Amino acid sequence: MEVFLWKYESWQIQNLGLIVTFLQSFLKYFFIPSNPESK
């Protein structure tokens, strides 16, 4: 049971990293085209 909890926690950490990376790329894709004058 302890091994299962450890694997689940490590999976949550990896999943959180993927979500953060996805949000960063999504925000870049969403805001850059709407602000062409910022360049």
19 belongs to a structural domain: yes
Neighbours of 3 (CB within 10 A): 7
What are the phi and psi torsion angles at 10 (to 5°)?
-65, -35
Full domain range(s) for residue 4: 1-25
One digit per residue, the tens of pLDDT, for the chain of length 39 reads 677 777 778 888 888 999 999 999 988 887 776 655 655
4 belongs to a structural domain: yes
How many domains does one find in the chain? 1
pTM of the model: 0.44
- CA 14 to CA 32: how far, in whole Å? 27
38 belongs to a structural domain: no
7 belongs to a structural domain: yes
- CA 39 to CA 6: how far, in whole Å? 46
- CA 22 to CA 17: how far, in whole Å? 9
